[in-house]
Structure 1
Amino acid sequence: MRRFIVTAVSCLMATATFAEDLDAKTATDLLAQAKQEGKVTVYAFTSRIGRVEKAFEAAYPGIDMVTFDMSSTEQIARIKSEAQAGLPGADVIYISDAPVVLTELLANNLVVSYVPPRVAGTVADQNKSPLLAQRLSTKVLMYNEEAHPDGSPVKNLWDLTKPEWKGRVIMVDPLQRGDYLDLMTEIVLKSDEMAKSYEAAFGKAIALTDGNENAGEQFISDLFANDLVLVGSTDDVNKAIGAKGQEKPPIGFTSYSDRRDNEDEGWALQVANDVTPSNGIVFPAFLALNPKPANPAAARLAVDFLMGDDSETGGEGFKPFYVAGDWATRSDITPHKDAIPLADFKGWQIAPAETAKIRADVADFILALQ
């Protein structure tokens, strides 16, 4: 028994040392082993990973990148079930929904951190610990700029609860997608700001109705009472809001970066930035590793590639994300010329640990409203 324990501990120490050795290697140093592995599997919460796959395989012939596009909520469930069943899963996890990722995946060693040495000095501490954020993304209020050429028809979040927007506010069901639940949770966390905005919208102090403990809950209750439209996907939201030719299009919460598809899809999506107290949330998109990746060198090479090359725009690896509405965490990547500077953006930047504390309670609150 003692020999078995000593052997097991030695194996764990050897594995840790091996990982540390790989973590310190440059992309050039990783390449030979990555080519021997010949493959890397990536779970990603964005369809843009398909473009990364093509670019990666062009940059590194002989290494097959196998990608799976699924929401962060789906990824979290899959990672947990694979770990429980002892299945290998993905080598690289590209995921949002930070409150759950940090408290349920990272805390239970279902994902681990990796920061490529090449970019470590260009990423602020809060964006590389406890996990590496590749970019900052959003769930914010968007409107149809063809129907509203003079700017957003909404200047205060409470306007969404008024009769003129009854049945005309749309979003993905927050009980189905974590990023939207994080949005609702942030509104509750920012109840003091919501109370001040209520007074600005209606000219009187907020009065809470039965069952609502703060201004954030009151807003969510009033929004549901105003016939909030819940759909199954962000694409559904974008089509409903952005389709051209509408006389009275809906308004709703989606990703600022989805404006990139306006030309291809025939949409007229625009972000409502001048909104009190905020237009929504800004959150990190994490890159992490499986703690026991089947292809450890290729996994690190893929993360390095996704962080972008040393050019001003991040090159082919970052190209799908170099759009207005996504902000690179690397300080040496030039901000997109069409983007609202992050410092001027009205979205609340979430604090995942604070969100995690009340997220389940907010979900229960919303379930009762449905």
Structure 2
Amino acid sequence: MLVAYTEKNEPFVLNSSMPQTTLYQLRKSKKFYCPLCKQQLLFKIGSLKIPHFAHYSKSSCEAQFSDRESEMHLKGKEQLYSLFNALKLEAQLEPYLPSIQQRPDILFKLKGNDDQRIAVEFQCSPISLEKLLERNNGYKREGISPIWIPSTPNKIVKKGIQRISLNKNYQQFREVTHPSYIMTYNPAVRQFFYISNLIYLHGNSFISKVQTISLTNQKFPFYIPKPITKNEFEQFWLIYQQVKHNYLQARVLFRRSGVNDILLRSAYELRMNLHSLPKYIGIPLKGSEELKVFSVDWQLALFYFIHTNKIELCHMKGQTIYYFLKWARMPETKIAYEVVSNYCTFLEKTSIQHSYQSIQDDKLLAILYNQFLAM
């Protein structure tokens, strides 16, 4: 923690820019106490972490005051606190809210609106969706708007359109913050990384446009990424097609389950070569991650389902879509239903009825780009 109380019950905020001599003199001359449990604290001045306070032993308030904070978390919240102060936002560092027993990293008020409070959480460790929603609900009960800023994933070090990996912990921030992007922060380089315009591939893989903005250039309200241009979407599409090609090649070479593999079985029954599939089989769609497989798997399976059951594409509606999801052993959820329904609508709009039809590349790209903007 970076905030403690002195013997005179005055709040004291540590600042890593303080000279070492000043810090050692403070530790020698003063005693500091926990704002919550009132116990005396250790004043740590080491080489591995920035100066911080910690409890002498395990205490009842350990959950609110994370004694084992990482260097990244300590640095990050100190830097964010300095940002909000520089923006004249009356920020508080590590305030305790007794009514909900929560302690945001930073709390501040909006200019000209004393009633509107914002809680900022710089999240460096994994957190369950249940805990995240519980914290959010606590803030909202107090009329506080929460903002979650996860630490930047280690492998994201540059900006531009690229393939990235986001584990489930990062993916859930889209559900509670911004569905179209994730704003992260890296205290080591003092930069915000915006992971936007996400297109799902498979597993934890996505294609994204990554943008950066320095701590000193950030404002509040925070910068919001703009939609990608058509030229940028063409870069997305090229990466997507290359990933799909490599994925299909690997499936043919290394998959041994044969007829038990829905992709290989679908291709076999439809007499289709996986290396020359029409480009409308395996396209990105909003919510595709709900199906937990690459789009080419379930979209080719859909044509096989239609072929096997001798039904027309226009009849892929209502309960029939749920029959398909069950048949393909995929999640039978509302989101999964909407993804499949949207794909069927896309096929109807492009006059595709059978898997042997074709479509011009420029027409397909234009439709996908307009759909992507709508996402």
TM over 0.5: no
- Considering only CA atoms, is the larger Rg found in Structure 1 or Structure 2? 2
Question: Which interval holds the TM-score relative to the shorter structure?
Answer: under 0.3
Structure with the higher fraction of residues in strand conformation? 2
Structure in which a larger fraction of residues adopt helix = 1
Higher relative contact order (CA 8 A, sep 6+): 1
TM-score in terms of structure 2 length: 0.23
